[in-house]
Structure 1
Amino acid sequence: MKRIGFLSFGHWTPSPHSRTQSAQDALLQSIDLAVAAEELGADAASFRVHHFARQLASPFPLLAAVGARTSRIEIGTGVIDMRYENPVAFAENAGAADLISGGRLQPGISRGSPEQVIDGWRHFGFAPAEGETDADMARRHTESMLQILSGEGFAPPNPQPMFPNPPGLLRPEPHSPGLRERIWWGAGSDSTARWAAAQGMNLMSSTLKDDETGEPFHVQQRRQIEAFHQEWQAHDHAFTPRVSVSRSIIAITSDQDRAYFLGQRDAQDQVGMLDERTRAIFGRSYIGEPEELVRELARDEAIASADTLLVTVPNQLGVEYNAHLMESILTAVAPQLGWR
């Protein structure tokens, strides 16, 4: 069995060709798609977070709303940029959203990706400490947040509080037991996958990573997963980690699918510069008839190594069409691969 869910970037644009004309459309349709995915039997609804962009941004109101409308599906992010996050506020907001969902939150976090604006985290009130990079700052925020999620008190109580306090040091409330073990790190390299394992976080790997060996993307990603598990075994985290990968997968099962996607496939990995220093490899898309997809996906070594697959969806095509795409994967592809 493999958990299968969707990953939505939540794009919106005031274009006559888009079904998501506004931020409100993107948010409300994200909730509706999670509800539809749960009804279809999908296992996860995950949402991308991008600041200063016409996409989903502030994640916790959306996660809480999805949690209130659903009852079974896992609810996550892929990923929250920790350069922008106050660790205490993160723990408090995540705890509330997790309790609303009944313990189904699966927050994915990372050090961030190229942005819409220059040093956008500065506008949120954050700056690297002396000698730090912005990536160092993201990891520092993460380590603090993980400690807070452990539930241990750290704040000295006021001797004359407005309301009675429990004994000892205080922690942010609400606290959600178990959430600490459901934090995922979006790793873009083998070294950051090992760092995630050392910190006791699950591994989330997308369709993009550093090109470290020149091998095909799925092979490099499988090696990244192996590095994660090897590092995990060197620590005593007292729980079994999970690994997810994301893919662009379109099963062609209707004339509408053919009109939208046939002939638009990117059947090869792409290599390019992510910034001035980082050579990155972008994983291929899988677009085709179900029988063809079954053959191609069976050869994907990283998918075989992961317990969770997140399928990126073209959210601007609307809830009904994206539910159709998910249903095609769940019924026409996954069973043939032994995932269902």
Structure 2
Amino acid sequence: MSLSSRPLRKLGFLTIGLFDEADPRRGHESTLEIIQLGEQLGFDSAWLRHRHLQFGISSPVAVLAAASQRTSRIELGTAVTPLGWENPLRLAEDLATVDILSGGRLNPGVSVGQPMRYDDLKHSLYPDTADAEDFSYQRVRRLLDLVRGETAMDFSGTVGFEAFSARVQPHSPGLASRMWYGGGSLRSAQWAGEQGMNFLTSSVVKAEESEDFVEIQLSHIRTFRAHHPDGERARVSQGLVVIPTDGASPRQRAKYAEYAAKRTPRTTAPQGPARMMVSTDFVGPSAEIAERLHAHAAFREVDEVAFALPFTFDHEDYVQILTDMATVLGPALGWHRTDQPS
């Protein structure tokens, strides 16, 4: 087995935070408990995914604000926030606020594009400006400028008893360096590099120059770094669905195997009009998963991961998976926790 050319430096996980419509608090509490467990296990980062008008976390920034008060070390990220739903100025205020509350641990990941099912919801989201909204990279540029402290309005000073700032407040100086772009195409990889952002690459990429997932993802990583000011030192995090089974019960192993089997057919060819390629899931004992990942050309290019938890599993499944990731799989990939267990 060949070792990764980039020893795994940061181990993270991603969750969607599903909940029951009849009892949403329970699902949100479960997500917060999972983040707390991640910190206890030594994970470097925990990431939340957006789900608008569905039964997953619709406001990751609010949930991460709560998580920031229940943790002290683990980094907290969004993977990703679709900016088509957001006002960049208001989002910049929220991100800076949570970053301040967390002590500088926030890692906001964003993407662009028209919101899903836009024709069905634009009358609620943008009732007066639906046809004029800009869903291009420019929306990210606006957010980046505001986070970096660029002018937000043409006035600063005092009017009566009211003091005004020309830039977003609070301002968190280190936040801009922790902004990530979630991209699945060569164009987005190049653009993110040119902007000096960090790059999130997931288990879904666009089949442009190839129909081999690993080849495509590898080309995105290399394209990003080729256009980034930091070159080979530019940060890339890989998010694949990874399910170690070392500590799983027979029932859990059967459940995980069935989950992966149902998803496998979509990994064999490009999916939909956008020709998206989906990675296979990595399920099994940690030793086998580590061997497969060490043979994965794109994995060998990164030293950070945010392994995705399956969205439909139960709380006890996540506890087992995260425990195995931190105690068995992580070390097999060369990762070592940098904190000291309490």
TM-score by length of 1: 0.86
Instruction: Quote the Cα distance in structure 2 between the aligned partners of 1:39 and 1:4.
Output: 13
**SS of the counterpart of 1:294?**
helix
User: Residue in 1 aligned with 2:140?
Assistant: 142
- 2:239 maps to a residue whose letter is S
User: Residue in 1 aligned with 2:35?
Assistant: 34
**For 1:5, which of 12, 18, 23 is the aligned residue?**
12
- 2:256 maps to a residue whose letter is F
**For 1:260, which of 249, 252, 255 is the aligned residue?**
255
Asked whether the 8 Å contact 1:247–1:310 carries over to 2, the reply is: yes
Deviations 1:19-58, CA, capped at 9 Å, x for gaps: xx63322222111110010000111110110211111112
Q: How does 1:41-52 map to 2 (within 5 A)?
A: 41-52=42-53
Change (3 A) 1:113 1:4: farther
Q: How does 1:252-331 map to 2 (within 5 A)?
A: 252-253=245-246, 254-255=248-249, 256-266=251-261, 269-274=267-272, 276=273, 278-314=274-310, 316-331=312-327
- 1:95 maps to a residue whose letter is A
Asked whether the 8 Å contact 1:207–1:246 carries over to 2, the reply is: yes
**SS of the counterpart of 2:199?**
strand
User: Residue in 2 aligned with 1:249?
Assistant: 242
- Further displaced range: 117-126 or 55-64: 117-126
Change (3 A) 1:160 1:339: closer
User: Residue in 2 aligned with 1:186?
Assistant: 182
In structure 2, the gaps of 5 or more residues are 1-7, 337-342
Query: What's the CA shift for 1:334?
Result: 2.0
User: Residue in 1 aligned with 2:85?
Assistant: 84
User: Residue in 1 aligned with 2:221?
Assistant: 225
Deviations 1:165-223, CA, capped at 9 Å, x for gaps: 47xx6112111111111111111101111011111211011111111133421221011
Instruction: Quote the Cα distance in structure 2 between the aligned partners of 1:46 and 1:111.
Output: 18
Change (3 A) 1:60 1:264: closer
Asked whether the 8 Å contact 2:113–2:135 carries over to 1, the reply is: no
Instruction: Quote the Cα distance in structure 2 between the aligned partners of 1:265 and 1:11.
Output: 19
Asked whether the 8 Å contact 2:213–2:279 carries over to 1, the reply is: yes
Deviations 1:295-332, CA, capped at 9 Å, x for gaps: 21111122221222111113553434312201112222
Instruction: Quote the Cα distance in structure 1 between the aligned partners of 2:23 and 2:282.
Output: 29
Instruction: Quote the Cα distance in structure 2 between the aligned partners of 1:8 and 1:31.
Output: 11
- Further displaced range: 150-159 or 213-222: 150-159
User: Residue in 2 aligned with 1:17?
Assistant: none
Instruction: Quote the Cα distance in structure 2 between the aligned partners of 1:121 and 1:99.
Output: 33
**SS of the counterpart of 1:118?**
helix
Instruction: Quote the Cα distance in structure 2 between the aligned partners of 1:120 and 1:258.
Output: 40
Instruction: Quote the Cα distance in structure 1 between the aligned partners of 2:113 and 2:255.
Output: 31
TM-score by length of 2: 0.86
**SS of the counterpart of 2:276?**
strand
User: Residue in 2 aligned with 1:111?
Assistant: 112
Change (3 A) 1:53 1:118: farther
Asked whether the 8 Å contact 2:211–2:269 carries over to 1, the reply is: no
Change (3 A) 1:263 1:160: closer
Instruction: Quote the Cα distance in structure 2 between the aligned partners of 1:308 and 1:113.
Output: 29
**For 2:205, which of 209, 215, 224 is the aligned residue?**
209
Instruction: Quote the Cα distance in structure 1 between the aligned partners of 2:67 and 2:17.
Output: 14
- Further displaced range: 78-87 or 264-273: 264-273
Instruction: Quote the Cα distance in structure 2 between the aligned partners of 1:160 and 1:3.
Output: 45
User: Residue in 2 aligned with 1:157?
Assistant: 155
- Further displaced range: 113-122 or 63-72: 113-122
Instruction: Quote the Cα distance in structure 2 between the aligned partners of 1:263 and 1:60.
Output: 33
**SS of the counterpart of 1:80?**
strand
**SS of the counterpart of 1:214?**
coil
- 1:194 maps to a residue whose letter is Q
Change (3 A) 1:251 1:30: same
Query: What's the CA shift for 1:78?
Result: 0.7
In structure 1, the gaps of 5 or more residues are 15-20
Identity of aligned residues (%): 30
Query: What's the CA shift for 1:77?
Result: 0.7
User: Residue in 2 aligned with 1:18?
Assistant: none
Change (3 A) 1:209 1:29: same
Runs of 4+ in 1 over 4 A off after TM superposition: none
Which one has more relative contact order, counting CA pairs under 8 Å at least 6 apart? 2
Instruction: Quote the Cα distance in structure 2 between the aligned partners of 1:319 and 1:3.
Output: 24
Q: How does 1:168-183 map to 2 (within 5 A)?
A: 170-183=166-179
